[in-house]
Amino acid sequence: MNNDGGLQGKGRADSPAVAEGARFSRLAEVCSALRATSKRLEKRAIIADFLKGLRNDEVSAATLLIVGRMFPETDKKALNLGWATIKKSLGGTRQATLEMSPLTILEVQEALRRIAAASGEESMKAKRRILDSLLGRASDEERDVILQNIFGEMRHGVNEGVMLEALADASGADKESVRTANMLCGDIGLVAEVALTRGAEGLRDIQLSLFTPIKPMLAEDTGGDFAGALKEHGGRTAVEFKLDGARIQIHKRGGEVRVFSRRLSDVTESVPEIVSLAHKFKGDSMLVEGEVVAVDRGGRPLPFQDLMRRFGRVHDIEAAMAEIPLEPHLFDILYLDGRLLIGETYESRWATLASVAPPDLLVERLISERTEEIEAFLRRALEEGHEGLMAKRLDGRYTPGKRGKLWLKIKPAETIDVVIVAAEWGYGRRRGWLSNYHLAVRDGEGFAMIGKTFKGLTDQEFEWMTKKLQGITTSDERWGVRVRPELVVEVDYNEIQKSPRYESGFALRFARVKRIREDKGPGEADTLDRLKQMYEKQFERKGRVAEP
């Protein structure tokens, strides 16, 4: 894709500042402006105006840096910088800025690429030299943005969805074309460059390429409201077992098979049994989606934590296969022998999937119009150790990278009453509120932490919580406050896991505040002993392996 057309003729390169390369300070100013507003439309306008003022070859880098990516999602480069190295560079002497030219956006991106590329015995020294030089040339504001990129916390409330909308605003292309192009190539920087230089026509040229992972469609959570899901889908829906596993996409062309995770990582070497099963698919080339679960010797699903121990394994795979076998459950197909299927209905895609994959590999599903039938199907899913159900609209298209009501999660959540013992200041939309809460259960005379969450509350509740917590603060920290353990909240969660991170030895997976329990005092919060009992109770329906 060339950079000769598009917006190049709109005067974007006429400014001397742009001709020599856009200064990184401009990007830092944009990030500051984004932090100063909570309004989505204003954020989009700020980004669009900024990107339209850049040279074509700067758009990709600027887009990635604003969203805090540094590298495309499909590019698995990593800086591999420890806190000790970063701290030393931060403590170094600032270079004489009068003798140095200002940092440009492309220089920052190139420095980060060189840090990621450094390897060998002297790699840490090389990384440190590059980082010293980069931070030494940066102003305080520029340093903050660079460090936020390194730590993956931009704190300005611009997620990928906001950026994609801003790209549509800047280029004049429709949002769906921008989103689809991003799903197909997994590189929001490339999408930005194409959108601003070649518009909607250029975006249409971005096609699916096998062995390049694509961004998956997402679902919205309904709690346990299967009646609401049925109504949302027009009175008839397809419900599938919602498995407590890891989402995968299987790419196959001829005899070659690659498997990618939900986060677009190549996990092929870790899942040889999945590769072997994929060779049984009918058809020469395809992209199939599914969920992989870990099972015990009796075929019962194992907890997610055990799956993750196996899923990232790259050594002693045969021993791992014997200890924690994996099973795939397929639920969608997006490409088959030259045909892109995301524009077809779910019902049509399922029929295609059923024609190419062995029936025993398809996820358990039911099409129904009756709530009592769906409720019975849900009970069966839970009894077999699964999370719940996925309800899918029969005439729904595949909407990449987007969470919507075409797919709905139906799963009853467990709840536990916990005490807030500390809170962190939020950022982006939650800026100015104490909104990331440290959760603890009673443990003898004290409290033992079991996790954190910022999910579940409304803006009004965040504001109320902030005032309440400030009133019971025992110490102010740079990151937030420690508080007297007085405020009780009811939290729902997906699973209790063993965790060395917290003194309790446990952590809640996907914790979410369900309601503030002003009617309860800290002495009525759940205990660590009860948490242990709840942890053990999970295995009534799940398998388990020996503790690592």
Residue 304 CB contacts under 8 Å (≥ 6 apart), including other chains: 244, 245, 246, 494, 495, 497, 509
- Residue 547 pLDDT level (bands cut at 50, 70, 90): low
Looking at the fold, whether 234 and 378 belong to one and the same domain comes out as: yes
Domain-located, residue 209: no
pLDDT at 6 exceeding the cut of 70: no
Task: Give the model's pLDDT for residue 538.
Answer: 84
Q: Is 455 among the catalytic positions?
A: no
How far is residue 318 from each of residues 206, 314, 431, 513, measured CA to CA in Å? 39, 10, 48, 41
Structural contact between residues 434 and 466, judged by C-beta atoms closer than 8 angstroms: yes
Picking from 48-62, 68-82, 282-296, which range would have the lowest pLDDT averaged per residue?
68-82
Domain-located, residue 217: no
pLDDT at 182 exceeding the cut of 50: yes
What range defines the domain where residue 429 resides?
414-540
Looking at the fold, whether 107 and 124 belong to one and the same domain comes out as: yes
Instruction: For tokens 């805090």, name the residue.
Output: 68
Q: Angle 38-39-43 (CA atoms, 0-180°, nearest 5)?
A: 95
pLDDT at 175 exceeding the cut of 50: yes
Mean pLDDT of the 70-76 span: 86
- Three-class secondary structure of residue 309 per DSSP: helix
Looking at the fold, whether 137 and 246 belong to one and the same domain comes out as: no
Task: Give the model's pLDDT for residue 477.
Answer: 87
Domain-located, residue 299: yes
Domain-located, residue 437: yes
pLDDT at 60 exceeding the cut of 90: yes
pLDDT at 509 exceeding the cut of 50: yes
Structural contact between residues 248 and 311, judged by C-beta atoms closer than 8 angstroms: no
pLDDT at 15 exceeding the cut of 50: no
Mean pLDDT of the 223-239 span: 88
Position with higher pLDDT, 362 vs 69: 362
Task: Give the model's pLDDT for residue 205.
Answer: 93
Number of H helices, E strands in the chain: 19, 19
Task: Give the model's pLDDT for residue 108.
Answer: 97
Q: Where does a domain end: 351, 377, 410?
A: 410
Task: Give the model's pLDDT for residue 16.
Answer: 38
Domain-located, residue 371: yes
Distance from C-alpha of 177 to C-alpha of 204, rounded to nearest angstrom: 7
Task: Give the model's pLDDT for residue 5.
Answer: 30
- Three-class secondary structure of residue 323 per DSSP: helix
- Residue 194 pLDDT level (bands cut at 50, 70, 90): very high
Q: Give the CATH number for residue 385.
A: 3.30.470.30
Task: Give the model's pLDDT for residue 92.
Answer: 63
Q: Give the CATH number for residue 519.
A: 2.40.50.140
Looking at the fold, whether 197 and 338 belong to one and the same domain comes out as: no
Structural contact between residues 213 and 356, judged by C-beta atoms closer than 8 angstroms: no
If 0-12 CB within 10 Å is exposed, 13-18 middle and 19+ buried, where does residue 545 land?
A: middle
Q: Where does a domain end: 361, 389, 410?
A: 410
Domain-located, residue 546: no
Q: Model confidence over 232-272: pLDDT tens digits?
A: 999 999 999 999 888 999 999 999 999 999 888 899 999 99
Distance from C-alpha of 333 to C-alpha of 336, rounded to nearest angstrom: 8
Residue 444 CB contacts under 8 Å (≥ 6 apart), including other chains: none
pLDDT at 99 exceeding the cut of 80: no
Quick one: tokens of 548? 């690592």
Residue 404 CB contacts under 8 Å (≥ 6 apart), including other chains: 218, 220
Q: Which helix (H) or strand (E) holds 419?
A: strand 414-425
Task: Give the model's pLDDT for residue 532.
Answer: 92
Instruction: For tokens 């509120």, name the residue.
Output: 433
b/e for 63-81, b at 16 or more Cβ within 10 A? bbbbbbbbbbbbbeeebeb
How far is residue 28 from each of residues 23, 62, 264, measured CA to CA in Å? 9, 10, 29
Catalytic residue of the set 43, 127, 215, 242: 242
Task: Give the model's pLDDT for residue 223.
Answer: 62
Looking at the fold, whether 497 and 425 belong to one and the same domain comes out as: yes
Q: Give the CATH number for residue 38.
A: 1.10.3260.10
Mean pLDDT of the 189-197 span: 97
Mean pLDDT of the 202-215 span: 92
Task: Give the chain's end-to-end CA distance (angstroms, integer).
Answer: 50
Looking at the fold, whether 200 and 280 belong to one and the same domain comes out as: no
The length of the chain is 548
Domain-located, residue 461: yes
Looking at the fold, whether 173 and 231 belong to one and the same domain comes out as: no
- Three-class secondary structure of residue 409 per DSSP: strand
Q: Model confidence over 149-161: pLDDT tens digits?
A: 887 778 788 988 8
- Residue 10 pLDDT level (bands cut at 50, 70, 90): very low
Residue 403 backbone phi and psi in degrees, to 5: -95, 125
Distance from C-alpha of 393 to C-alpha of 366, rounded to nearest angstrom: 12
Looking at the fold, whether 16 and 141 belong to one and the same domain comes out as: yes
b/e for 264-295, b at 16 or more Cβ within 10 A? bbebbebbbebbebbeebebeebbbbbbbbbb
Position with higher pLDDT, 316 vs 401: 316
Q: Model confidence over 517-544: pLDDT tens digits?
A: 877 788 888 999 989 988 888 887 777 7
Domain-located, residue 532: yes
Distance from C-alpha of 294 to C-alpha of 281, rounded to nearest angstrom: 21
Q: Angle 450-452-455 (CA atoms, 0-180°, nearest 5)?
A: 135
Looking at the fold, whether 199 and 257 belong to one and the same domain comes out as: no
If 0-12 CB within 10 Å is exposed, 13-18 middle and 19+ buried, where does residue 345 land?
A: middle
Task: Give the model's pLDDT for residue 116.
Answer: 94
Tally of domains within the chain: 3
Task: Give the model's pLDDT for residue 100.
Answer: 72
pLDDT at 4 exceeding the cut of 70: no
Picking from 50-54, 143-147, 310-314, 527-531, which range would have the lowest pLDDT averaged per residue?
310-314
Looking at the fold, whether 249 and 396 belong to one and the same domain comes out as: yes
Task: Give the model's pLDDT for residue 9.
Answer: 31
Picking from 14-28, 257-271, 429-443, 444-458, which range would have the lowest pLDDT averaged per residue?
14-28
Q: Where does a domain end: 365, 395, 410?
A: 410
Picking from 68-82, 107-121, 241-255, which range would have the lowest pLDDT averaged per residue?
68-82
> Mean pLDDT for the chain?
88
Looking at the fold, whether 485 and 509 belong to one and the same domain comes out as: yes
Looking at the fold, whether 438 and 361 belong to one and the same domain comes out as: no
